[in-house]
Homo-oligomer: A and B are copies of this chain.
Amino acid sequence: RLRPVSLARVRLSDDFWRPRRRINREATLPAQYARLEQTGRLDNFRRAAGKIDAPFSGVYFNDSDVYKWLEAASWTLCTDRDPDLERMVEAAIDEIEAAQRPDGYLNTYFALERASERWTDLTHKHELYCAGHLIQAAVSHHRATGGDHLLRVARRFADHICDTFGPEEEGKRPGTDGHEEIEMALVELYRDTGDRRYLDQARYFLDVRGRGLLGGREYHQDHRPFREMDRMVGHAVRAVYLNAGAADLYAETGDPTLLAALERLWHDMTTRRMYVSGGIGSRYEDEAFGEDYELPNDRAYAETCAAIGSVMWNWRMLSISGDARYADILEHVLFNAVLPGLSLDGQSYFYQNPLSDGGSHRRSPWFGVACCPPNVARLLASLPGYFYGVCEDEIRVHLYAEGDAEIPLEGRTVGLRQRTRYPWDGSIEIEVAGEGEFGLALRVPAWCQDGSARIEVNGETFHGEAVSGDYARIRRPWRPGDRVRLTLPMTVRPVESHPYVAENAGRVALMRGPLLYCLEQADNPGLDLRDVVVPIDGPFSAEYRPDSLGGIVALRTPAEVARPDEGWEGRLYREARPRTGEPRRPTAGVTAVPYYAWANREPGRMLVWLRAR
C-alpha cells in the first residue's frame, strides 16, 4: 500500500502543467466564482440563511458546484498564495455556515418551504451527494490550509447523517445515496478526524446498495450488492465514484471481498467499455455505460466528470495495490479524457467528449448542470499530489514533469528534481538529493515496447528490470547529486482496437508517448478527413510547434485520399462487387495534433480513428 505525497511537497515548474495550473488559478477559478454568484448558487445559501428573500435558483444539486469549487480553490491555496482567492474562499465558507440548520442539516434546496421534504427522495434528489461534496471540500480545505472552519460545518452535517441513516433495528432510517460521492467523503473525514463512526457510515451506505432501497436499477448501481458486481453499468460518473469509495473503504478495512469486486470491475471497464481516450460512458441516454465493445465515436458520451472519476478510482487502486497498470490508466485518462474537457484558455468546457465530430460540438463556458467545470478545476488544483507515492523505504514516481519534490521517507526527507520536456520528449532526468539506501521506483509506461525504455544511473546503464507497465526499481546507497536518466521511446504508435468494436474495424488511432492524436480540419484544409487512409507502417514524423495550440508536437504522415467513387452519388447502399486490383489514389500529407487540444480553433471536422492500410 502506498502513502501519498502531499501536493504541498511537490512543485511543478514545467511547460505543460504549470501554465495550465496558472490559468486554473488566475482565470478559471475567478470566472467560476463569478458564475456561482451570477447563477444564484451562492444566493441559494444566503436565502437558506434568511439573508435574502428570493426563490431557490437552478437545479436541486447546485450546492455541490460551490463545494467542488471550494475544494479546487483550497488545493490551489495549498500550492500558491493568492489573497483574492483566499477572500473568495472565506466568503463562500461564511455563506455556507450561515445556511446550516441547528441540527447540522445543510442543503439549500431543502430549505424553508421544502424543509419537510428532506431525505424523502434519496434516489433522485442528490442530498447525500451534495453532503459528500461538502465533506470533501472541508477535508481538502483543512488539509490545504490548516483551517477548520468548514470542517466543523461538515462534521456537524456528517454527524447528523450518521444519526439519521442506518439499520432499522438501530432506530435509524435505511437509505443510501442515488448519486454516489459520500462514501469517499466519509472515509476522508475519518482519515482527517480519526473518528471511526464516519468510516462505519461509509460502509453502511455501500453495503445497502443492491437491496432495492433506490429502486433496483443499474442506473444507480442498485441492481445487486456491490460485492457481486462484475460489469460496469449504469450512469458512468456514479459508477466510478462508487468504485472510488469502495477502494477507499478497502484501504481502511482490508476487506478482501471489496478488492475482488473492484478488480473485476476494473478489468471489465478497461477491456470492454473504455474509449481509446480513456473516456467512459457510451450512451447519451442515462449518461451510461453500454454493452461490451459498444463504443460509438460520434455519439460518445465520455463525460468529462466520468474521466475525472476514473482518475480518482485509478489513483485509489494504485494506492492500495502499488500496481503500475493503474498509474498507466490514470495518466492516460488525465491527458486524453480529462484535459480535452477544458479549453486551452481555461474558460470553456466539454460535457461530452466525442472521438469524431463534424464540427458542431464546441465547448461551452458553463452549463445548467455544471458538474464538469469545477471538477476539472479541482483535479488540476490537486494534480501535484498524483505524482509520487511512498511504500516503506521506496519512492514511487508515477508521473513525469519538470519540477521538484521533498519526499518524507522513514524520518528523513529526500529531494527529487525532475528535468524533462515530457510529454513531448521521452528523456527524464531525476536528480536525487538524499543519502543512504532506499528505493527509487520509476514507472515504465505500458505503452513502451518491452525493452525499449533505457535507464542510466550516474551515466551507467542500469541492469535491473525495466519492464513496461511496471516500475523499474532502483535500490542503492544514494549520495546527493546522483542522477537517474529514464529514456522512453517517443515513436508514433498506430493503435488498433479489438475486432468486436465494429466502428473501428480497419482503423487506427495515432499515439505518441502518453498522448492520443486526432486529425482536425484546421490543419488539413481541403481534405475530407473521412477520406484519409494512413499507412500503418508510416513514415510518421514528429515536429515541435511552439506557437501552435499552446505548444505541441504535431505528427505528419503521407496518407492516401480515398474519396467515395462516383457510384455513390445520391446513394446510401449499393450492390457490392469484388475488388479488382489496388485502387490508384492521390496522396496528401496530413497533420495530427494531440486530441486534448481539439476544438480550440475554428470549427471543423475532427477524427481520432483513421482508416488505415
A81 near B: Cβ within 8 Å? no
Residue from the set A271, A494, A571, A575 with the largest chain B CB neighbour count within 10 Å: A575
Q: Please, which residues of chain B bring their CB within 8 A of the CB of A356?
A: 502
Asked if residues B274 and A572 are in contact (CB atoms below 8 Å), the reply is: yes
Q: Please, which residues of chain B bring their CB within 8 A of the CB of A494?
A: 575-576
- A463 CB to closest chain B CB, in angstroms? 26
Asked if residues A270 and B572 are in contact (CB atoms below 8 Å), the reply is: yes
A133 near B: Cβ within 8 Å? no
- A266 CB to closest chain B CB, in angstroms? 12
Q: Contact check: which of B272, B449, B572 meets A272 at CB < 8 Å?
A: B572
- Tell me which residues from 348 to 362 in chain A have a Cβ below 8 Å from any Cβ of chain B: 356, 358
A545 near B: Cβ within 8 Å? no
- A571 CB to closest chain B CB, in angstroms? 6
Of A39-47, A161-169, A503-511, the one touching chain B:
A503-511
Bound Cα distance A507, B500 (Å): 13
Asked if residues B298 and A299 are in contact (CB atoms below 8 Å), the reply is: no
Q: Contact check: which of B499, B506, B575 meets A505 at CB < 8 Å?
A: B506
Asked if residues B536 and A577 are in contact (CB atoms below 8 Å), the reply is: yes
Closest residue on chain B to residue A535 by CB atoms: B578
Asked if residues A498 and B296 are in contact (CB atoms below 8 Å), the reply is: no
Bound Cα distance A441, B577 (Å): 31
A451 near B: Cβ within 8 Å? no
Q: Please, which residues of chain B bring their CB within 8 A of the CB of A573?
A: 276, 495-498, 509
Closest residue on chain B to residue A294 by CB atoms: B298
Contact digits for A510-538, partner B, Cβ 8 Å, 1 yes 0 no: 00000000000000000000100000110
- Tell me which residues from 529 to 556 in chain A have a Cβ below 8 Å from any Cβ of chain B: 530, 536-537
Q: Please, which residues of chain B bring their CB within 8 A of the CB of A495?
A: 573-576
Q: How large is the interface on A (under 10, 10 to 19, 20 to 34, 35 or more residues)?
A: 35 or more
Bound Cα distance A491, B174 (Å): 65
Bound Cα distance A506, B579 (Å): 11
- A432 CB to closest chain B CB, in angstroms? 33
A82 near B: Cβ within 8 Å? no
Closest residue on chain B to residue A531 by CB atoms: B499
Q: Please, which residues of chain B bring their CB within 8 A of the CB of A578?
A: 536-537
Residue from the set A493, A496, A501 with the largest chain B CB neighbour count within 10 Å: A496
Of A98-106, A256-264, A284-292, the one touching chain B:
A284-292
In the complex with contacts A537-B578, A573-B276, A576-B612, A283-B297 CB distance below 8 A: no
Q: Contact check: which of B274, B493, B498, B501 meets A575 at CB < 8 Å?
A: B493
- Tell me which residues from 561 to 613 in chain A have a Cβ below 8 Å from any Cβ of chain B: 562, 564, 568, 570-578, 609, 611-612
A211 near B: Cβ within 8 Å? no
Asked if residues B575 and A500 are in contact (CB atoms below 8 Å), the reply is: no
Asked if residues B299 and A497 are in contact (CB atoms below 8 Å), the reply is: no
Asked if residues A530 and B499 are in contact (CB atoms below 8 Å), the reply is: yes
Bound Cα distance A292, B572 (Å): 10
In the complex with contacts A299-B296, A493-B575, A572-B272, A498-B283 CB distance below 8 A: no
- A550 CB to closest chain B CB, in angstroms? 27
Bound Cα distance A145, B67 (Å): 68
Bound Cα distance A396, B498 (Å): 51
A267 near B: Cβ within 8 Å? yes
Asked if residues B497 and A572 are in contact (CB atoms below 8 Å), the reply is: yes
Bound Cα distance A298, B570 (Å): 25
Q: Please, which residues of chain B bring their CB within 8 A of the CB of A297?
A: 502
Q: Please, which residues of chain B bring their CB within 8 A of the CB of A612?
A: 576
Q: Please, which residues of chain B bring their CB within 8 A of the CB of A572?
A: 270-272, 274, 497-498, 501
Q: Please, which residues of chain B bring their CB within 8 A of the CB of A272?
A: 572
Q: Please, which residues of chain B bring their CB within 8 A of the CB of A290?
A: 298-299
Q: Contact check: which of B283, B291, B298, B609 meets A284 at CB < 8 Å?
A: B283
Asked if residues A571 and B498 are in contact (CB atoms below 8 Å), the reply is: yes
Q: Contact check: which of B284, B291, B298, B506 meets A358 at CB < 8 Å?
A: B291
Closest residue on chain B to residue A576 by CB atoms: B496
Q: Please, which residues of chain B bring their CB within 8 A of the CB of A285?
A: 284-285
Q: Please, which residues of chain B bring their CB within 8 A of the CB of A298?
A: 290-291, 294
- A24 CB to closest chain B CB, in angstroms? 30
- A139 CB to closest chain B CB, in angstroms? 35
Q: Contact check: which of B502, B537, B568, B576 meets A503 at CB < 8 Å?
A: B502
Q: Please, which residues of chain B bring their CB within 8 A of the CB of A502?
A: 297, 356, 503, 507, 530, 609
Instruction: Give me the 10 closest cross-chain CB pairs, A-B, nearest first.
Output: A496-B576, A494-B576, A503-B503, A537-B578, A284-B285, A508-B576, A536-B578, A499-B564, A271-B572, A285-B285
* Residues of A near any B CB (own CB < 8 A): 267, 270-272, 274, 276, 283-285, 290-292, 294, 296-299, 356, 358, 449, 493-503, 505-509, 530, 536-537, 562, 564, 568, 570-578, 609, 611-612
8 cross-chain CB contacts under 8 A: A271-B570, A291-B358, A297-B502, A495-B574, A498-B572, A500-B564, A536-B577, A576-B612
Beyond known contacts A502-B609, A576-B612: 19 more, CB 8 A cutoff: A271-B571, A274-B572, A276-B573, A283-B299, A291-B358, A294-B298, A296-B296, A297-B502, A356-B502, A494-B575, A494-B576, A496-B573, A497-B572, A498-B564, A498-B572, A502-B503, A505-B506, A506-B506, A508-B576
